């Protein structure tokens, strides 16, 4: 690959999507001297509170998309459930990073797993299924328990069903109402980790992580960095991430989520071509946050340093903590090196990501304990 002239500060960057990842991308871009325009179907989105140039229109409105594309120097994404056709329409009028082809693979579990399998990356055994007969044949080969997943539009555990016995299979498949699905062998894993890679148009690469992740009710609850794994495994996870990005020719960011088995083997669980919740620790812990890195990667600026000598943790703030009123922000941030990030969402619903806390300390375990203490302080005592 050859380097192309960078898109310099003062230019306008476009972002598709109105959520918190787009909001934090915009904040990083503004800090670096760029302008940001957002395209989202959602009124009053977290992005619209930050950007004064917002197009609110559907993703299938080709005319509005292309008008938007002509006003910006490059377009990126902040979540993957955007029709790949929308990116193809934009590619006719401007740079799109990552490309529509990358999104086409990453937003569909079957295409994603087919790609990873053909390229030789380690994944759990799986089958594509549409009918009860196909599902029963797959379960005969895989055994139970197994995990049934919709092929498209899944996140935070949505579109997934655990099948404990063959007798549960028919009801699980029926709940998907005819959607394309994949069934995977259930993986007995020791840890879940992620690596967030950044890759430029010339193939330069840097990585965050590995990051260790803990989930509750299929939603990421807490991340800590560095992950508590050996260096050999950490280097292997980073190498796999780079190889996936090279194979897809990603320009921008890609998160690769892994299962770590009890035998210390890595299995790729899924990929996401954007900043990732687990990478929020980088906002305070790293010289270059994942959002500044996204700006650098899509504009062709040199990639920034990711190394840190501190341990860190990130804990999600879900709508549940508003159940008894406004959380006690002052008490939480009174602890050393605790940083609050709220996303500007007006309605706090159970399970909805409203913000996060990041904590830095000498060691990751110390940061985790302080993050949990800060979360406890947020919830005001009843009465």
Residues 210 and 359 in one domain: yes
User: How close are the terminal C-alpha atoms of the chain, in Å?
Assistant: 64
C-alpha separations of 124 from 93, 110, 162, 187 in Å: 39, 13, 15, 7
pLDDT per residue as tens, the chain (383 positions): 556 799 999 999 999 999 999 999 999 999 999 999 999 999 889 999 999 899 999 999 999 999 999 999 999 999 998 999 999 999 999 999 999 999 999 999 999 999 999 999 999 999 999 888 999 999 999 999 999 998 876 555 567 889 998 888 888 888 887 788 999 999 999 999 999 999 999 999 999 989 999 999 889 999 999 999 999 999 999 999 999 999 999 999 999 999 999 999 999 999 999 999 999 999 999 999 999 999 999 999 999 999 998 999 999 999 999 998 999 999 999 999 999 999 999 899 999 999 999 999 999 999 999 999 999 999 866 44
Structural domain contains residue 111? no
Q: Is 190 helix (H, G, I), strand (E, B) or coil?
A: strand
Structural domain contains residue 334? yes
CATH number of domain containing 248: 3.30.470.20
CATH number of domain containing 96: 3.40.50.20
Residues 323 and 361 in one domain: yes
Structural domain contains residue 58? yes
Structural domain contains residue 47? yes
Residues 176 and 294 in one domain: no
Structural domain contains residue 281? yes
| Cα 331–chain centre separation | 29
Residues 93 and 143 in one domain: no
Partners of 193 in beta bridges: 212, 258
CA distance linking residue 376 with residue 58, whole number of Å: 40
CATH number of domain containing 179: 3.30.1490.20
Q: Is 241 helix (H, G, I), strand (E, B) or coil?
A: helix
Final residue of a structural domain among 162, 185, 208: 185
Residues 135 and 85 in one domain: no
Residues 232 and 369 in one domain: yes
Final residue of a structural domain among 152, 185, 218: 185
Structural domain contains residue 224? yes
Residues 325 and 285 in one domain: yes
Q: What is the residue range of 225's domain?
A: 189-378
For 4-51, write each residue's pLDDT tens digit: 799 999 999 999 999 999 999 999 999 999 999 999 999 889 999 999
Q: Are 95 and 75 in contact (CB under 8 A)?
A: yes
The total of structural domains in the chain comes to 3
Residues 283 and 255 in one domain: yes
Residues 316 and 253 in one domain: yes
Structural domain contains residue 4? no
CA distance linking residue 193 with residue 212, whole number of Å: 4
Residues 147 and 86 in one domain: no
Final residue of a structural domain among 74, 106, 138: 106
Residues 196 and 178 in one domain: no
Residues 164 and 305 in one domain: no
* Cα dihedral across residues 361, 296, 196, 93: positive or negative: positive
Structural domain contains residue 7? no
């Amino acid at each position: 690959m050859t380097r192309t002239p960078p898109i310099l500060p003062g230019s306008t960057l476009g972002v598709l999507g109105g959520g918190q990842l787009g909001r934090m991308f915009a904040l990083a871009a503004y800090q670096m001297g760029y302008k940001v325009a957002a395209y989202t179907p959602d009124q009053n989105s977290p992005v619209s509170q930050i950007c004064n140039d917002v197009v609110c229109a559907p993703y299938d409105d080709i005319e509005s998309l292309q008008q938007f594309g002509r006003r910006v120097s490059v377009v990126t994404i902040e979540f993957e459930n955007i029709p790949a056709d929308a990116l193809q329409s934009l590619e006719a009028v401007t740079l799109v990073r990552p490309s529509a082809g990358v999104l086409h693979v990453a937003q569909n579990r079957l295409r994603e797993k087919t790609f990873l399998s053909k390229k030789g990356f380690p994944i759990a055994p799986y089958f594509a299924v549409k009918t009860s007969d196909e599902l029963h044949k797959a379960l005969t080969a895989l055994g139970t328990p197994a995990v049934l997943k919709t092929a498209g539009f899944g996140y935070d555990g949505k579109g997934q069903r655990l099948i404990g016995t063959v007798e549960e299979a028919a009801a699980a498949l029926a709940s998907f109402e005819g959607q394309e699905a994949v069934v995977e062998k259930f993986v007995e894993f020791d840890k879940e980790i992620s690596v967030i890679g950044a890759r430029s148009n010339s193939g330069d690469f840097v990585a965050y992580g590995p990051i260790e992740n803990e989930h509750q009710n299929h939603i990421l609850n807490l991340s800590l960095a560095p992950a508590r794994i050996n260096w050999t495994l950490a280097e292997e996870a980073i190498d796999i991430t780079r190889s996936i990005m090279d194979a897809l020719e990603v320009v921008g960011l890609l998160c690769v989520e892994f299962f770590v088995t009890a035998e210390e083997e890595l299995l790729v669980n899924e990929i996401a071509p954007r900043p990732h919740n687990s990478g929020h620790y980088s906002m305070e812990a790293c010289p270059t946050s994942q959002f500044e890195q996204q700006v650098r990667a899509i504009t062709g600026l040199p990639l920034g340093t990711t190394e840190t000598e501190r341990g860190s943790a990130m804990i999600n703030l879900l709508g549940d903590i508003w159940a008894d009123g406004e959380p006690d922000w002052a008490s939480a941030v009174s602890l050393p090196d605790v940083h609050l990030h709220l996303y500007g969402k007006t309605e706090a619903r159970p399970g909805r990501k409203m913000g996060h806390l990041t904590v830095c300390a000498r060691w990751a375990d110390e940061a985790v304990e302080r993050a949990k203490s800060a979360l406890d302080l947020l919830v005001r005592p009843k009465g």
